Amino acid sequence: MPEQEEKIVWTEASAQTEIAYFCRCRQHKLIIPNFGAFPYFENDLVSITNSDFAHVFEIKTSRSDFLKEFGNGRAKRNKLDRLCYYRRKSTECANYFWLVCPKNIIKSEDEIPEWAGIIWLHEVSKVDGHWKDYRIGREAPRLHRTKTSDKTLKSIARGLSIRFWDYRIRELINK
């Protein structure tokens, strides 16, 4: 009897893994999930290129999650509009901002801010194990030319060090 085809559903973790691969293919030197490297909120994924430009990836796996944060008039969207669009010279935002989501979540191209790139996640099935796919719908525009500062890179290193040792301590306690 042939194996049944399993439909793959995107989660934040599976999308992070796929986007980390995207970043590795572009030779980014740092790729960090769930990290608040920039002052406005925790990012689903942050990457730093070899040229020290920062990319922020915001992953949405449902329409309601997208509308909650990126619908018109929403606080997060308004704050990002101010940081990324109205103040493009601002180093308070990353150099590039990406939305990452399945195509059925965004109903119209008008819902995608002009300061954001879009990566579409495709729900793909495979018989033997997992396989997912993504496509770049629109490259993220460069929001400013200021490279990630040494201060920010040190903050990232410190945050990763704390994250590692917290994990190690929890691991030892739970043995």
User: Is pLDDT at 81 greater than 80 in this prediction?
Assistant: no
> What are the sequence ranges of the domains in the chain?
6-173
| d(C-alpha 57, C-alpha 159), whole Å | 18
Q: Kindly state the average pLDDT of the residues 152-162.
A: 87
Grade residue 77 by pLDDT with cuts at 50, 70 and 90: low
Distance of CA 61 to the CA centre of its chain: 12
Task: Please tell me the predicted confidence (pLDDT) of residue 39.
Answer: 54
Local structure of residue 58 (DSSP, 8 states)? E
At the second CATH level, the architecture of 6-173 is 3-Layer(aba) Sandwich (3.40)
Identify each DSSP E strand in the chain by its residue range: 6-7, 30-35, 43-48, 54-59, 96-102, 117-122, 125-126, 133-138
Alpha helices (runs of H) in 81-174, residue ranges in sequence order: 150-173
| d(C-alpha 43, C-alpha 35), whole Å | 5
* Percent of the chain residues topping a pLDDT of 90: 30
In this predicted model, which residue has the larger pLDDT, 136 or 5? Answer: 136
Q: Kindly state the average pLDDT of the residues 150-173.
A: 88
pTM of the model: 0.82
In this predicted model, which residue has the larger pLDDT, 58 or 7? Answer: 58
R_g of the chain, CA atoms, integer Å: 17
Backbone angles phi, psi at 78, to 5 degrees: -60, -40
Task: Please tell me the predicted confidence (pLDDT) of residue 174.
Answer: 87
**Among the listed ranges 37-51, 83-97, 158-172, which one has the minimum average pLDDT value?**
83-97
Task: Please tell me the predicted confidence (pLDDT) of residue 149.
Answer: 86
In this predicted model, which residue has the larger pLDDT, 4 or 67? Answer: 67
Cβ atoms of 93 and 41 closer than 8 Å: no
Q: pLDDT for 106-153, tens place per residue?
A: 998 888 888 889 999 886 655 445 456 788 999 999 988 889 888 888
Q: Kindly state the average pLDDT of the residues 46-73.
A: 88
Cβ atoms of 58 and 100 closer than 8 Å: yes
Is 103 in a helix, a strand, or coil?
helix
